[in-house]
Structure 1
């Protein structure tokens, strides 16, 4: 699989399908939830947009990673949430509406925060004289195009053709998983000579990031006395990152155009299904009374 086909054709198509699928399940009520029930939404957004990058930076600074892989880890930490976290929340019997709300709102905000976090990371790990940077306005526009347009299209279909949107949504989810698998396969194939060293170097760090942010998300929700279903949603949203968007930012020709920086997100995207399944199994079996309001 040629890298130019992967990054120029397959990756944008995959992102379009994934974000379209998210839009098919969204309504304007999801965005209004921040006003009607602000506590879990604001807590979740704080954990996603502030705590997650801080934990990512701590891990990238502490563990022995090459500068490019450290930046790749930060790209991943700058892309919270995604349709996979919604699926995990559903399987874990959590508050799916809250999960979708957090994904939707964070997707809007990260259009502006991704270039800030990534450029700070490149200055920190690649040196002050690094020439590679994400131009803020251009990056904001590009990320908005590849995320907002398909999400808006999905919401329009949901509003005007709800029956059709409901039928299509499940197929779109499976198609998005197929595309994600192809992208990961293509990246690992291109870097096949380095896959094992990369996995040994960054695989356990991405796993640690995944587990640590899940634990911190759960702990914050419990301290704030959030109900069980919403706690599950926050745990999933904080712990499950948008790997496809991270891969796009790292490897797309018009953004960072650095396949090595996409490796942490590619490896993470494999591991998150294991941790997500573990979270779903644990949360769905845990008695609600034991994790309800403290």
Structure 2
């Protein structure tokens, strides 16, 4: 594996997670207590329904074992900061998005290794080298939460600097995401081309189902519309970069990162189309200032 994988990917993810930390305050975690129903429903969809839906798709499509584990790793990855942008565009509760991303990123430190290890045990029995044992789980912890905590500390210490850096870091995050995905695809182009049709179809289906579940389940349980929109994008837009980094640098399998790479390209278009599908036909009334 070249420098892109061993050095570039963790640094890229570090910048993205640092950017997330810059936008967070302790209030984003305590806000959960004010909207417990919306948060609990969204987390149940993310942590229980999504892995089950993904498992069903993987079995239906009969993916090769390593790609199947890659899909499950993607399903276990928390929402990314891109979800906030889509939620803002389509009148979702962005504050709820930020809280969900914050809570989900902490929970993912425990749930991601668990789901990934179960997937490896099921699809690749006997291949213990690929599992996320304790040392690798600590690595996931450092990759996910280390930069977030650092970003939060910078915001607490220098709030004006954090505000100024918000936009540049967001732009850098998108650029980095594109570079990471391009690198993952270029590294394993032959394998990707051999599975392109299958991976494109399963990742699009997974994205559509994730968005639909994230919107429909809260609505059925009488969660507010703006909160349901936020939940939809939080659950439907995964942190593809995190899945790629864990597959390539922690687990050591470029092949396993391919589902996340394909998903990372297609999710932008799928989420945009879904947003237009669920948007209210009449714009919400806006109070005119006196």
Cα RMSD, aligned residues only:
1.6
Extract unaligned runs of 5+ from structure 1: 290-294
Q: Mean Cα displacement is larger for which, 184-193 or 167-176?
A: 184-193
Q: Mean Cα displacement is larger for which, 94-103 or 189-198?
A: 189-198
Quote how far apart the aligned CAs of 1:180 are: 1.1
Q: Encode CA deviations 1:120-173: one digit per residue, 9 max, x unaligned.
A: 11111123x223343432233111211212111211222232221111011101
Q: Which of these residues, 52, 55, 69, is aligned with residue 53 of structure 2?
A: 55
Q: Which of these residues, 77, 81, 86, is aligned with residue 88 of structure 1?
A: 86
**Conserved 8 A contact 2:244-2:257:** yes
**Conserved 8 A contact 1:49-1:106:** no
- Write the mapping of 1:71-110 to structure 2, written as runs, cut at 5 A: 71-110=69-108
Distance in structure 1 (CA, Å) of the matches to 2:204 and 2:277: 18
Q: Encode CA deviations 1:34-92: one digit per residue, 9 max, x unaligned.
A: 22221101111111111111111111122121111111100100102111112211222
- Write the mapping of 1:243-282 to structure 2, written as runs, cut at 5 A: 243-252=240-249, 255-282=250-277
Extract unaligned runs of 5+ from structure 2: 285-290
**Conserved 8 A contact 1:68-1:260:** yes
Quote how far apart the aligned CAs of 1:184 are: 1.0
Would you say 1:7 and 2:5 are equivalent positions? yes
Distance in structure 2 (CA, Å) of the matches to 1:33 and 1:279: 27
**Conserved 8 A contact 2:83-2:237:** yes
**Conserved 8 A contact 2:46-2:235:** yes
Partner in structure 2 of residue 187 of structure 1:
184
- Which 4+ runs in 1 deviate beyond 3 A? 279-289
Would you say 1:139 and 2:136 are equivalent positions? yes
Quote how far apart the aligned CAs of 1:283 are: 4.5
Distance in structure 2 (CA, Å) of the matches to 1:184 and 1:124: 27
TM-score of the aligned structures, taking structure 1 as reference length: 0.92
Secondary structure of the structure 2 residue equivalent to 1:159:
helix
Distance in structure 1 (CA, Å) of the matches to 2:90 and 2:152: 25
